[in-house]
Homo-oligomer: A and B are copies of this chain.
Amino acid sequence: YGKNTIKFLRLHKEGKKHCVKEVEVCTHLRLTSAQEYLEGNNSLVIPTDTIKNIVLVLAKKNGIPTLEQFAIDICNHFMTTFCQVVYVKTYVQEVPWQRLHENGVPHIHSFICVPDGIRFCEAEQCRNGPLIVFAGIKDLKLMKTTQSGFEGFYKNEHTTLPERHDRILCGELFCKWSYGECKDFDFDCVWNKIRECILEAFSGPPDCGQYSPSYQKTVNDIQMLVLSKVPQVQVIEVVLNNTFYNVLDMKNLGLTNDKEVLIPVEAPYGSCACTLGRK
By the criterion CB–CB under 8 Å, are B45 and A214 in contact? yes
Pick out which of these stretches binds chain B: A65-73, A144-152, A225-233: A144-152
- Rounded to whole angstroms, the CA-CA distance of A266 and B268 in the bound complex is 12
Q: Give A239-279 interface residues, CB cut-off 8 Å to B.
A: 242, 244-245, 248, 250, 252-255, 257, 259-264, 266-274
By the criterion CB–CB under 8 Å, are A154 and B209 in contact? no
A190 within 8 Å of B (CB atoms): no
- Rounded to whole angstroms, the CA-CA distance of A277 and B5 in the bound complex is 28
> If the complex has contacts A110-B209, A112-B116, are A42 and B150 also in contact, measured as CB distance less than 8 A?
yes
By the criterion CB–CB under 8 Å, are B36 and A111 in contact? no
Q: Which residue of B lies closest to A172 (CB)?
A: B113
- Rounded to whole angstroms, the CA-CA distance of A109 and B147 in the bound complex is 9
Q: Which residue of B lies closest to A266 (CB)?
A: B266
A143 within 8 Å of B (CB atoms): yes
A37 CB, nearest partner CB in chain B, Å: 4
A126 within 8 Å of B (CB atoms): no
> If the complex has contacts A43-B153, A112-B199, A158-B54, are A48 and B142 also in contact, measured as CB distance less than 8 A?
no
Q: Give A29-74 interface residues, CB cut-off 8 Å to B.
A: 36-54, 56-57, 59-61
By the criterion CB–CB under 8 Å, are A9 and B245 in contact? yes
Residues of B contacting A208 in the complex (Cβ-Cβ under 8 angstroms): 108
